[in-house]
Chain A
Amino acid sequence: MPSNPVISTQIDVIYQQQSRRVLATLIRLLGSFDLAEEALQEAFAAALRQWPAEGIPDNPTAWLIKAGQRRGIDQIRKKQTARSYLQHLLPEEGEETPAPDERSIDDDQLRLIFTCCHPGLGMEAQLALTLREMCGLTTEQVANALLQKSTTIAQRIVRAKRKILEANIPYEVPEHRELSGRLQSVLQVVYLMFNEGYSASEGNTVMNISLASEAIRLAHVLAALLPEGEVFGLLALMLLHDARRHARQDVDGDLITLEEQDRNLWDRDQIDAGIQWLMDALQHSPTGTYTLQASIAAVHAQARQAEDTDWVRIVRLYDALFEQTPSPVIALNRAVAIAMRDTPEHGLKLLEQLSGHKAMQNYYLFHAARADLYRRSGQMDAARFAFERALALTQQGPEKRFLSRRLAELGCSGKNR
């Protein structure tokens, strides 16, 4: 095999930038995820063999799709016992299929993500499949990122692909009237991916940067393909949250609250980018929940110090958010914002009304918020009691250390270290 380091490096770059697009189109052309993945690898292997001698073709993506399709079809022919549903994919003798244009390659990317995030698949399967197919992570990488065993993830992906095939989940972008509902399901997966990366649900590090940046990268792809307000809103929200990543924990990996963060460590360029996307999102109406949450994050991002925070505006945004999604978690955040705007006592009164919710009683952040407001209002015994309650309800290392530290500051050490 001729080796040419310059060309191999270029092929690596093409792999990183184009392999998911090639895959998405091959899935459509070959009608099977597994066949397409195999064909993708073979197409790149062929490129590594041929390009050093022949040079890189003018349109490498189209070349790779053609090469992959040819190999996939050879595979189908070889397995003539293959199920009949693949037969119709075989071209007539001598027929040349035209190379797909950029537009249809883009549509294939959308088809792929809408299929991976089909609500007929379980949420966990949607996430694993999206990371695997859209982001191109290996099964091991997906397992590591989600703190699961590889065998569990592999099984989940196999099962999801089988359901796609057997229940005949179509490889298509939903029609206009179904689009907004189905888009919600896609955005939910992207945001879940981001949050899994932002705060792993257990373990010792707060952030797994790669999952969060995969989610942001995916949202950029979506924003280019599907210019909907909520796509922009979610992208803005994630950029604004992620901009705080270096300020969010200290050198020991301990959590630092928004109020106490060193705002010089915030990534200003990323904040600017987030606000730009937010502006685009706000051009669309009605304003969706991701856009509202991004608006809240933007108010925080624009305050040079914690004392400058515009709590009046934040409360208004939470009001709008609660109107759209009247969930106890949003009510909790709204109560904290009202406490910051008015007095801790005012916030505590609102939290009292929430304490009837079962979900709140076992939610550590509810107790942590109560504890903090008691602390701010000088009721130290009540604060201590609530911190202990919160501590007993969280498994996450950094959260536990943070709560223990707060308890220690009240003059008492945490029991559940």
Chain B
Amino acid sequence: MKYVALVYYQESIINGMTEQEWHALNQECLAGVEKLTDQGKYVAGQALQSIDTATTVRLRGDEVLISDGPFAETKEQLAGFYLLEAHDLNEALQLASRIPPARFGTIEVRPVRELPPKD
């Protein structure tokens, strides 16, 4: 079964990190992905640029509405995602708890929804 782990944290926390701390965190994430891959648990994933780079797009009628920033202001910002292969929710939670930003941010774990077969 596939689960998505959405990684959220306050960008101010990582902005406050030293160059060295930031480097170490990234290396730790890379090592984590490597381990998940070896275990056959990693399907895909990506870290994201900061929230300042986000642009929101909506289509209302024929009109494309484009605006700066994310749709909702939240305390923590989306920073990346993992697509995981896990047997059940407990395993998914256990894998997600090892994603390094879990220590200072929040990981939201959601089962994927398969779309119905094409008509």
Contacts and interface: CB of A to CB of B under 8 A. Distances in A.
A374 B80 CA distance: 57
Contacts of B111: 166-168
B25 interface: no
Contacts of A166: 111
Contacts of B93: 120
A170 B1 CA distance: 12
A38 interface: no
A167 B90 contact: no
A174 interface: yes
A375 B93 CA distance: 52
A42 to B, nearest CB: 28
Interface residues of B, number: 8
A158 interface: no
B68 interface: no
B28 interface: no
* Interface range, A side: under 10
Contacts of A120: 89, 93
A167 B111 CA distance: 5
Nearest to A171: B88
A169 interface: yes
Interface string A161-196: 000001111101010001000000000000000000
A167 B2 CA distance: 10
B85 to A, nearest CB: 12
A122 to B, nearest CB: 15
A376 to B, nearest CB: 46
A13 B87 CA distance: 39
Given A167-B111, A172-B90, 18 more contacts: A120-B89, A120-B93, A166-B111, A167-B89, A167-B110, A168-B1, A168-B88, A168-B89, A168-B111, A169-B88, A169-B89, A169-B90, A170-B87, A170-B88, A170-B89, A170-B90, A174-B90, A178-B90
A174 B111 CA distance: 20
Nearest to B88: A170
Contacts of A170: 87-90
B109 to A, nearest CB: 8
Interface in A79-135: 120
Interface in A210-224: none
19 contacts: A120-B89, A120-B93, A166-B111, A167-B89, A167-B110, A167-B111, A168-B1, A168-B88, A168-B89, A168-B111, A169-B88, A169-B89, A169-B90, A170-B87, A170-B88, A170-B90, A172-B90, A174-B90, A178-B90
Contacts of A178: 90
Contacts of B90: 169-170, 172, 174, 178
Nearest to B111: A167
A170 B94 CA distance: 13
B70 to A, nearest CB: 25
Interface string A119-153: 01000000000000000000000000000000000
Contacts of B87: 170
A172 B87 CA distance: 12
A77 to B, nearest CB: 23
B79 to A, nearest CB: 22
Identify the 4 closest CB pairs spanning chains A and B, nearest first: A170-B88, A168-B88, A167-B89, A169-B89
A82 B75 CA distance: 42
A225 to B, nearest CB: 20
A120 B111 CA distance: 13
B78 to A, nearest CB: 20
Contacts of A169: 88-90
**Residue from A166, A168, A174 with most neighbouring chain B CB atoms (10 Å):** A168
Interface string B23-58: 000000000000000000000000000000000000
Interface in B65-101: 87-90, 93
**Residue from A166, A167, A172 with most neighbouring chain B CB atoms (10 Å):** A167
Nearest to B94: A178
Contacts of B89: 120, 167-170
A166 B3 CA distance: 11
A178 B91 CA distance: 11
A120 B91 CA distance: 13
A168 B87 CA distance: 8
Contacts of B88: 168-170
A172 B88 CA distance: 11
